[in-house]
A and B are shown apart, each in its own frame.
Chain A
């Protein structure tokens, strides 16, 4: 058996999802579904005040209930070695920092008993006044200082970038402009709501600690939990081969992991199962923070931007600072000599926000791309032409060239496919029966970063089979299929010869599925491991796999081009919207996106990811808002009946196209990220179409019918 570098290319083939046959019959094993013997069940207790401290615990009635194995509160919980992060460390003090925070747990023989007993535990509180309202006129806004989560250089915002940026003189740029805009856009809290609730099954023995978990990255979860419990990471095995969606909520906050492990410590050797309820998820696994965004634009009489200013106020939690790059996309999108961005946060008595698909970019681009539409109208330009006139030659802030940037081509190709030509730009220009019809466009952008901490191994058998091992995650993203294709290409063999193993800390370390970085990181690492294997075979075995097999491994190599180029995916999204004249009902019969995401590994699974992101963008535009009752501090619509996200009948045609160009600088596959670019811009395209249909500019998401009936 020989290994060549140029075999039939598996990358680019529209293969069916490898895990498909298991998933359609419900036989893929998600976290709570591992067959374990005689499990005990854990049910958590949540704070019923938004701020204050616990002054008393009475667990006697719960403990008297037959079948209850224990009640854990801050009084008797194990002291954790690392308790600085409230999303990881729970039950470490009597302080309550938000309503719904974990204040205890019951472990019992059955789920029913655990839940019943949880209702019998009495907690007394000393309440402090709380404050959950985000307003622009607050006096306590501050510049965030958020240590980057992902290992990039520590910066103010969670992606490692600074809170503020400035070039030139915005006031002068606005003063010299022929057209100006000064508008404020607002977006609410959104919750990820993956269909699989966050779940852990933990088994704690003297030797090994096993955690079956819902995880976007088992290695990150293991290191967080090993740190918290003060145990050697090698003792913990985290397993998560199939995950029922995450969208960011299964990357970092692992309260469910911590609690499952505490439960397991209580009953050593016995598996403890803990699944959050849907309602609990609204307080414990993060959310997209609400924003208030002021955008100022100036343009000269030719429609060239003279100034761009984007000032963002967003919420964070008093318990832990989280600040995302809501201004990030604005820094990279359009050319203008004078520009500034600022980020300020208000620390509230609310649950801790976290990354949610397109964290920052999704909300920031709702504001910027709505503003671009408003400016195009003011300048009397077609919104596509206006964007093209302001296309930058290099990154507008730091001046690096883009590795590839085909935004203009996406806009043009999208316009052609959507039938944009001949559009009457006047609002209220199209009416069909009782429906006002409008169309809108917006750009999409998302970076293609890398996260550190990746390694892969490949074992070759003499019979021509290759086992590729990396602790990567498939949260529905198609990793099982795409990495198999990449490994086949890297090894120059067919996909049927590759056996992939992911989602387990017993495999080589891998970064989490987040930041649209998975395929970039894991694929590059597999490529490097295939190179190592080839070298080893050539140098020691004359290119032939020995009878006993052979194994090689590699870490993710550095990409020197990351310092030399700005790397982003781009897209153009088009929406057709119909608004009922009498009721204000809003329908979106058609969404169309054209994306520049480099080379597409698997057009079938990639398409699913892109239509999924666009549909979530539709959902963000029209449906989603978590509503906090300021009197009590909790999300009142905390279930799937109250928190509406797009259902089947809310969605019409969703079309996606790729402008496939191999990116020469991102990675050996030539790919860029696709997971998040697709949700960026959708909400603006829909808001712009709503304006075109009705003449009403809605600057406050979600766009509900009450905002259209004036």
Chain B
């Protein structure tokens, strides 16, 4: 069944007709030509497709496009302002926090949302003080909170310091 939906992606509105089975990831990549979120598993198991949906990180392969109707969606492309890269993106380059780059936009989006989660006091499994208003992002917290984003090139030892540089300036 086809339905018409409105998607708001990286600040632009798109009206399009989609099969109700289409995922948000496929709508972004195949219909809107936004290749920033990547398809690594299509199963919510790798994080390559991570986007912000109303400010929170989601794996867009597990969201149906119709469920994205009206939501504010931001991809790694939208985190940059024109040629001006987001600080996390600049830190990833400076620390060479990737090799092939296929997991990278998902890592970047995930890192941005993860820092907000810590700022809002959301604990993780390694958080000592569950009542803290703000969780301090030490390396262990960063590694734990970024573990939903797999990197087969295994740039983890560079990803953690790249994020730390932004999280603990």
Contacts and interface: CB of A to CB of B under 8 A. Distances in A.
Interface of A: 16-17, 19-30, 32-33, 35, 110-113, 116, 192-197, 242-245, 247, 275, 277-278, 475-478, 604-605, 607-609, 611-613, 615-616, 619, 639-641, 645-651, 653-654
Given A26-B76, A604-B96, A645 B158 contact: no
Interface in B19-34: 19, 21-22, 26, 29-30, 33-34
A9 to B, nearest CB: 21
Interface of B: 19, 21-22, 26, 29-30, 33-43, 45-46, 48, 75-77, 79-80, 85, 89-90, 92-94, 96, 98-105, 108, 140, 142-144, 146-160
Contact of B157 (A21, A247, A641, A653): A653
Given A24-B108, A25-B76, A648 B101 contact: no
Contacts of A196: 38, 40, 100, 102
Contacts of B77: 25-27
A266 to B, nearest CB: 20
A505 B80 CA distance: 33
A24 B150 contact: no
B19 A195 contact: no
Contacts of B159: 648
A640 B41 CA distance: 7
A648 B156 contact: yes
A197 B160 contact: no
Contact of B152 (A26, A110, A247): A247
Contacts of A475: 100
A112 B65 CA distance: 13
Contact of B22 (A21, A112, A275, A608): A112
Contacts of B101: 19-20, 22-24, 28, 242, 244, 476
Nearest 7 Cβ contacts at the A-B interface: A476-B100, A244-B102, A26-B36, A23-B101, A476-B99, A615-B154, A26-B105
B55 to A, nearest CB: 19
B63 to A, nearest CB: 15
Contacts of A619: 154
Contact of B143 (A28, A608, A648): A648
Given A24-B108, A278-B43, A193 B152 contact: yes
Most buried by B among A26, A275, A476, A604: A26
9 contacts: A20-B93, A20-B101, A22-B101, A194-B100, A195-B152, A608-B99, A640-B45, A640-B46, A646-B154
A23 to B, nearest CB: 3
Contacts of B148: 647
A25 B100 contact: no
A216 to B, nearest CB: 11
Given A195-B40, A609-B99, A111 B30 contact: yes
B29 to A, nearest CB: 7
A470 to B, nearest CB: 20
A646 B156 contact: yes
B154 A611 contact: yes
A615 B97 CA distance: 14
A618 to B, nearest CB: 8
B98 to A, nearest CB: 6
Given A27-B36, A612-B99, A639-B45, A651 B93 contact: no
Contacts of B140: 649
A192 B154 CA distance: 12
A278 B41 contact: yes
Nearest to B37: A26
Contacts of B152: 192-195, 245, 247, 616, 645
B100 to A, nearest CB: 3
Nearest to B159: A648
Contact of A648 (B80, B96, B98, B146): B146
Nearest to A474: B100
Contacts of A24: 76, 85, 89-90, 92-93, 98, 101, 104-105, 108
A31 B155 CA distance: 22
A27 B35 contact: yes
B43 A245 contact: no
B144 A649 contact: yes
Contact of A29 (B22, B35, B98): B35
B99 A245 contact: yes
Contact of A245 (B21, B85, B89, B153): B153
A604 B29 CA distance: 31
Contacts of A641: 43, 45
Contacts of A25: 36, 76-77, 79-80, 85, 89, 105
A5 B99 CA distance: 31
Contacts of A640: 40-41, 43, 45-46, 150
